[in-house]
Amino acid sequence: MKKKQVGQNLSSGQLLSPKIRYNMKIGSLAITGVLLSVSALAFPQRITLKMKNVPLKHFLQSVQKQTDIALLYPDNLLADKRVNVDLNKEELVPALRQVLRRFNLNISQGVGQITVIPGQGMGAANTVRSAAVQEKVTVKGRIFNTQEPPSPLAGVTVFEKGGTATTVSDNEGYYSLEIAKGSRLSFTAVGYLPKEILVNKTEANLTVSLKENVSDLDEVVVVGMTEMQKKHIASSVASLDIKSNIEGKPITNLSQSLQGGVTGLTVQQGSGLPGGDAASIKIRGISTLNNSDPLVLVDGVPMDMNHIDPVTVESVTILKDAAAAAIYGARAANGVILVTTKRGKAGQINVLYDGYYGQQSPTILPKFVDAPTYMRMYNYAQVASGGQILYTDEQISKTESGEDPINYPNTNWTDIVIDDHSPLTSHSLAVSGGNDVARFAVTGNYMYQKGMLPLNKMDRFNIRANTSVSLSKRFLINLDVLGIRRNTLYPNRTIDNGGSRILDDLYRLPPTVLPKYPQEEGWPAIYGRYADIVNPLAYEEVGGTIGYQYDQATINLQPKWSITDNLNLRGQFSYRLNSDVYKQNRDNFYFFDYYTKQLVQTWAVQRNAYSETRNTYYYLSGALDYNKTFKKHNIFAMGGFSVEKFNEGYWKESSLVSSYAKANYAYDNRYLAELSFRADGSSKFGPGKKYGFFPSIALGWNLHNESFLKVDAISNLKLRASYGQLGNENIGLYLYQNLINATNGLESVWGNPNITWEKVNILDLGLDMSIFKNKLSLTFDYYDKRTKDVLLKPTVAPSGAIGSAPLNAGKVNNKGMELSLNYNDKIGDDFSFSIRPGISYNKNKITELLGGPYYSGISTNEVGYAIKSHYGYVTDGILQYDDFAADKKTALVPALAGEGPGDIKYVDLNGDGIIDESDQKVIGDPTPRINYFSNVSFSYKNFDFEFLLQGAGNHDYSANLGGKSAGYLWHPLNLSASGGIPTTYRAANTWRENNQDAIYPRLLANPANNILRSDFWLFNAKYLRVKFIQAGYRFNSAYLNKYGIKNARLYVNTQNPFLFTKLKMADPESQGGSWTYGMMRIFSVGLTANF
């Protein structure tokens, strides 16, 4: 059965349990078989059809509409066959045999079904076989479904493709037949996807699993620890399309796969730095001034999803509203992401290889001016600031001529520092299989990624073993083990926020600096220097490295006891150990001046500088669930508890104790109700404040099941409404207590005993609709999130020596809408396509803030505006000569002291004739209000093609970053902030006397007035990115089977190939962060193969 995980993998119970549903199917099939047998003997079914020159497939479809028999047929047997029929109340079975005999086809009767099979001698007629191939082999085995634990399937038709042998599995799923060696064995059953297996030898126990073929509405999902059919869900839940977003894609981190997959999900990768390229994820925007990351659960326990090998992922689902997430209580305020890993299925041993190799290059790499241009611009900035020129015309001329590259260098630092063809590779090997007693799925992965910076690389080893053991028909144990090791290496330069200070050096080092002087005997290597900057080549060759080693070991045990067919007792225990090791290595090195041979700097030895942090996590839970279906009623009820304990190292411990309950009711598949409740107790809060209570309710109405809305074109029409409360405990430890300085024994922080949970009340109204036999589906949601008791830390402490803990002193309102479409269709038998666009709008606003506004750098939190809004001066272009008196110094308009023509023109907002801090205001919003995507895929025969568009709008990028690298791009030659080399774009668009219509102000050695935070340095950051383009080819299985390969697919993929934006010199996804690494363009070739 197709499952999409939408909740903690704690319960497989649903409104109708898998066991009950399976027993009902088997019972129904058995009863149907008996009735059909009686009917065939006493009341034969008859058909009346008159058709001329129609495809044989259409004839069979027409027959099925007139009878209650399921007709199964392999498409390849019917290809290119047309038929004329004139049947008048003919008996079904003889009529079918008569028509099919013309094409050397026959039928096999099973329980409630008839299967079209090859006729006598058809295999010999179509295939030339040697005597060795005609050797007969006996195949025996058993057939199961893919549920956990698996149950045997009765009434499955098993036949030799291209031959005549056929049989039907018995009530316990057993089958046996004799076929020609090298034949393909086909398995077909009503309600299940067909399967084929190549048989080359006698098989005494060929176990097979068939996956249930369900409609979209009958798909089973897990909603808040409970499995339900999609048609019974009344809350807002979204599932990631694994095939489009993960399978066969060169993904370095699982978080990257979420981009462009689900509406309401904002994913910004921001950096391509190996080991630092995890994406930032927000569900439905930002609703708090604090951490707004969603809760991520992997197989039911909190975990970093980027530690998971994408090949092992079975499903990813997102819980958006309070009704879906309330069962997770205190940590669900920002939404919940649920990742479920693959488990073994009863059947043959399956071996999967999934690997790729790629080359990376920066998507945006600044192009800097050459040395002569730099020298002229430097002189201009010096003179404009009242200083003297540094470079003479003779020096500029010699640099331009290249006649003396040692004394007059012209260095392209980008070529020296950046590797724009760095390799990336990943290889996964997965082995799975088992039987009705034990099943397993073991996956190992190795990944290597080299960075574009010197010495930067990352390799990761990942192994996962998921096992399931059925100790009896009613007792099941799942045991999962995960081991991870990730090694990351960087040059011995500061690493921060997904970037490296090597980039800072790159943006500051003038092209007039020589990377390395000629080697002289008896002297160490001598490297060029500028101010306090040691050039990157020195860091690469003698600077040493910084290394990080991350290890993780996780064990996850989940027993299940089916007390009765309707009552289940479940438990879960998980333990995780994380270890972070930091190592720094460097040899002694002495820097000398090339000309004077004087010692100018020493790098001290750093041999195995080492630190280690260990974190542990414990999780224990138990739950009892009951489900029952009677007449038109479906009910489900469950209750449970959980205990969690975190140890973050350095004696930082916290714990969370929870109890929860959930109830679901559906009447006649029309009216739906969901109730959830959770109580959490957190050690982060003080006495009387430790516990939070989080209820929710959801209602749904399946209108398409109403008698007054029986329209053939409408497959599904559902209205949803939910309301509930969630909590946020994502704060520091023990802030309710006074903290004492261990050095002097004095109080250093005053605690707040009244600190408590942030609370989020969420209203969600939704619509789900499918039309044209589910070819086109639509989902729309409107939501209103209101957060109160927002935690904030006062900027002014009660005492100059004593800090203060956060207060519950804010409110935030966050509203939005989401719309997603999905259109799938097929043209003929060979061509199919899918289009999945989505768009979401979100806006937050602070409605209450005690003691505000609060300013921090270029941002402010202020009532009436969005969280972390941009704050600064309003500008009106660039000052021109007309704005000054004849002396060119006396401003005729309000201006800052020292400003002149070519400087930024600030607006006097309060009209007092002076430009000062009182003229500042909120000027922009860094958070995208609009996010959109569109996934388009095509397939023709064995070829497939797919691309993903993703974009964002209604937000601003700020270049007011002061001394950070990005700031250097817009504010070059700022000697007060250690320089900055002009880009060619900045140079071409800089204000000069002969370029007064320029975009940017004049260059100054100390441009203090031009680097103030203002809307002049805010840029429209809307963009549209082509996230990937992929083309693949699936090899012919018949050819591959000769070599023991079941199937294989080869693909080529390019990630981030195109970006459409008005923003210059920076990537709109890489906002903020110092020394930002930026996104990478990747071209890769990959292969997936099953053995």
Measured CA distances, 363 to 420, 536, 1080 (Å): 10, 21, 5
Instruction: Tell me if residue 1084 falls in helix, strand or coil.
Output: strand
Q: At 503, which helix (H) or strand (E)?
A: helix 501-508
Concatenating the DSSP letter of every residue in 22-46 gives HHHHHHHHHHHHHHHHHHHHHS--E
Which residues, in sequence order, are CB contacts of 863 under 8 Å at separation 6+?
Answer: 846, 847, 848, 849, 852, 853
Name the residue among 422, 444, 458, 40 with its Cα closest to residue 278: 458
Q: Domain 44-210 adopts which CATH fold?
A: Immunoglobulin-like (2.60.40)
Helices (H) and strands (E) counted in the chain, each on its own, are 15, 63
pLDDT given for residue 24 in this prediction: 39
Intrachain domains 44-210 and 220-349 with the same fold: no
Name the residue with tokens 């005609």.
134
Pairwise CA distance, residues 721 & 323, whole Å: 9
User: Distance between CA 1039 and CA 1048 in Å, rounded?
Assistant: 11
CB 328 within 8 A of CB 678: yes
pLDDT of residue 586: 86
Residue the block writes with tokens 């935030």: 812
Question: What's the confidence (pLDDT) of residue 22?
Answer: 37
CA-CA distance, 407 to 252, in Å (whole number)? 44
Query: For the chain, what are the domain ranges?
Result: 44-210, 220-349, 371-409+972-1010
Report whether 1056 contacts 1023 (CB < 8 A).
no
Alpha carbon distance 44, 584 (integer Å): 84
Average pLDDT per consecutive 10 residues, the chain (1091 residues; last block may be shorter): 36 36 39 40 68 84 79 72 83 82 78 73 43 72 88 88 83 89 86 86 87 72 74 88 83 85 86 81 92 91 88 90 89 91 90 95 92 95 92 96 95 92 95 93 96 92 95 93 94 75 87 93 89 86 91 96 94 94 88 90 79 91 94 93 88 89 93 94 90 94 90 91 91 81 72 90 96 92 95 65 78 96 91 95 95 87 94 95 86 90 95 93 93 95 95 88 62 77 94 94 90 91 94 88 87 95 86 69 94 91
Residue 840 to residues 187, 286, 701, Cα–Cα distance (Å)? 44, 14, 24
Convert 717-735 into a string of H (helix), E (strand) and C (coil). EEEEEEEEEEEECCCCCCC
241 close to 932: Cβ distance less than 8 angstroms: no
The encoded tokens of residue 561 equal 């006891």
Q: Are the CB atoms for 120 and 164 separated by under 8 Å?
A: yes
Per the document, the length of the chain is 1091
Q: What is the pLDDT of residue 184?
A: 84
Name the phi and psi angles at 603, rounded to 5.
-95, 115
Question: Do the Cβ atoms of 323 and 694 come closer than 8 Å?
Answer: no
Rounded Cα distance, 560 and 478, in Å: 8
Q: Which two tokens mark 18?
A: 């898998």
Comparing CA positions, the residue from 116, 945, 956, 225 lying closest to residue 560 is 225
Rounded Cα–Cα distance for residues 370 and 582 (Å): 39
Q: What is the pLDDT of residue 655?
A: 92
* Alpha helical stretches, state H, 909-1020: 965-970, 984-988
Three-class SS state of 123:
helix
Torsion angle of alpha carbons 741, 744, 747, 749, nearest 10°?
-40
Task: Mention every residue, 6+ apart, whose C-beta is less than 8 A from residue 1015.
Answer: 870, 872, 873, 874, 875, 923, 924
| H/E segment holding residue 384 | helix 371-384
Q: Contact at 8 Å (CB) between 341 and 313?
A: yes
Beta bridge partners of 430: 352, 443
Q: Look up residue 591 and give its amino acid.
A: F
pTM of the model: 0.85
Q: How far apart are CA 995 and CA 200, in angstroms?
A: 79
Question: What does residue 122 show for φ and ψ, rounded to 5 degrees?
Answer: -65, -40
Task: Find the angle CA(324)-CA(329)-CA(335) to the nearest 5 degrees.
Answer: 50
Q: What are phi and psi of 31, to 5 degrees?
A: -60, -45
Question: What is the structure's pLDDT at 945?
Answer: 96
171 phi, psi to nearest 5 deg? -65, -20
Q: pLDDT per residue over 702-743, tens digit each?
A: 999 998 888 888 989 999 999 999 988 887 788 888 877 767
For 622, left (φ over 0), alpha (ψ -120 to 50), or beta? beta
User: Which distant-in-sequence residues (6+ apart) come within 8 Å of 183 by Cβ?
Assistant: 123, 160, 161, 162, 163, 198, 199
The one-letter amino acid code at 916 reads D
Per-residue pLDDT tens digits for 560-579 = 999 999 999 999 999 999 99
Question: CA 263 to CA 950: how far, in whole Å?
Answer: 11
pLDDT at position 287, please?
Answer: 92
What is the crossing angle of helices 56-66 and 92-101, to 10°? Answer: 180
1044 phi-psi bin (left φ>0, alpha ψ -120 to 50, beta other):
left
Gap between the Cα atoms of 815 and 808, Å rounded: 22
SS3 string, 390-413, reads CCCHHHHHHHHHCCCCCCCCCCCH
Terminal Cα distance for the chain, rounded: 23
Cα torsion 210, 211, 215, 221: sign: positive
For 850-918, strand residue ranges (E) read 854-856, 859-861, 869-873, 875-878, 904-906
CATH superfamily of domain region 220-349: TonB-dependent receptor, plug domain (2.170.130.10)
Q: How would you list the strands of the sheet with 3-4, edge to edge?
A: 3-4, 220-222, 227-229
User: For residues 724 and 328, is the Cβ–Cβ distance under 8 A?
Assistant: no
Distance (Å) of CA 283 to CA 266, 315, 719, 821? 6, 18, 22, 19
- DSSP E strands in 891-1008: the ranges are 904-906, 920-924, 930-940, 943-953, 956-958
Question: Residue 128 contacts by C-beta under 8 Å, 6 or more apart in sequence?
Answer: none
DSSP state of 884: B
Reduced to 3 states, what is the DSSP secondary structure of residue 505? Answer: helix
Q: How many whole angstroms separate alpha carbon 19 and alpha carbon 13? A: 9
